[in-house]
Homo-oligomer: A and B are copies of this chain.
Amino acid sequence: MEGGSDENLGNGIGGSRWNPTKEQINMLESLYRQGLRTPTAEQIQQITARLRDFGHIEGKNVFYWFQNHKARQRQKQKQETFAFYNRFLHATTPVFPPYQNVVCSPCYISPPRNDPAVFYQQHPKVPLPTASGSFKRSRLIPQMSINDSSKQQQQQQPTIQKYNNNLHCIYTARNSSSHHQETLDLFPIHPTGILESSRNIDEAGHDQNEIKNPSFCAEKERDANNDSHPFFDFFGGN
């Protein structure tokens, strides 16, 4: 897939873009599966620090990773939803809504809102009616009005500073990492099976036996928090 190169830049020169290592990807995905979507600045820092053990990485990489991953995940999901409706409208085949096809998540099935894995998740129930008008999205997705949770979490209301505490935990065992196991434990990870990769982005070794992310059909999981998409999908083919 995108690999090929085995070396992450690491060198300031050239300025090639970040090339995540497998471990980094794994950890990031793990966090994502646990519900983390839009890490705060602090979280980004922590994650970055943690991932740095596996190769050069900067905060912005983590930031972008989450942004992209989330967006693309959503696109996939939308696509399926859309495809579903398409079928529903066109064909007469009674199919079920696509949003239940939790293929690969080892053990996360997008549990209810109060899932343990939501530590990182920004689902603060805090009031904070900062429902400030959000941007205007003229193009796609005219909806989006429910998820104001995105903003509040950033504010880090002192009342919910529990999120800040995390910081400690992460920094705590920072230099004792020897195994991945340990590493993962630092994070909210808690899964029984170590995230053993839902994706094999190795270099050169194109293991064809795996999905390889045929693109937008690898893993799907509901956002669990918002995302009530209207269905306007991007890849509405299928």
Q: Which A positions have Cβ atoms within 8 angstroms of B?
A: 14-15, 40-42, 44-45, 48-49, 52, 57-64, 79, 82, 86, 116, 119, 132-133, 135-136, 138-144, 150-151, 154, 156, 158-160, 162-171, 185-190, 196, 198-201, 203-204, 208, 212, 214-221, 223-224, 226, 229-238
Q: Are A41 and B169 within 8 A (Cβ)?
A: no
Tell me how far the C-beta of A2 lies from the nearest C-beta in chain B, rounded to whole angstroms.
14
Tell me how far the C-beta of A155 lies from the nearest C-beta in chain B, rounded to whole angstroms.
8
Q: Are B135 and A133 within 8 A (Cβ)?
A: yes
Q: Are B237 and A61 within 8 A (Cβ)?
A: yes
Q: How many copies does the complex hold?
A: 2
- Residues of B near A41 (CB, < 8 A) are 82, 140-144, 215-216, 218, 232-236
Q: Are A223 and B171 within 8 A (Cβ)?
A: yes
In the complex, A45→B104 CA distance in Å?
27
Q: Are A44 and B215 within 8 A (Cβ)?
A: yes
Q: Are A59 and B79 within 8 A (Cβ)?
A: yes
Question: A232 and B154 in contact (CB under 8 A), knowing A58-B219, A237-B59?
Answer: no
In the complex, A203→B133 CA distance in Å?
14
